[in-house]
Amino acid sequence: MSTIFPSSEFFRALQEAMDANPNCTSHLEPSDAYCGFAIDESLYVFEFDGRSCVGAMGGGNELDLDFVVAGPGAVWREALDAVAAGGAETAALPALVERGALEIRAQDDDGLEIGRSSLPFLQVFLDQAKGLELAFD
Residue 113: the pLDDT is 96
Give the integer Cα–Cα distance in Å for 107 and 118. Answer: 16
Cis preceding-peptide flag for 72 (omega within 30 of 0)? no
**25-42 confidence digits (pLDDT tens):** 888 887 889 999 999 999
Q: Domains, the chain, ranges and CATH?
A: 3-136 (3.30.1050.10)
Q: What is the pLDDT of residues 5-26, one digit of tens each?
A: 999 999 999 999 998 988 888 8
pLDDT digits (tens, 9 = 90+) for 86-129: 766 768 899 999 999 999 999 999 999 999 999 998 999 999 99
Global pTM?
0.92
C-alpha span between 68 and 130 (Å, rounded): 23
- Higher-confidence residue: 73 or 50? 73
Alpha carbons 103 and 58: distance in angstroms, whole number: 19
- Inter-residue contact 53 to 77 (CB < 8 Å): no
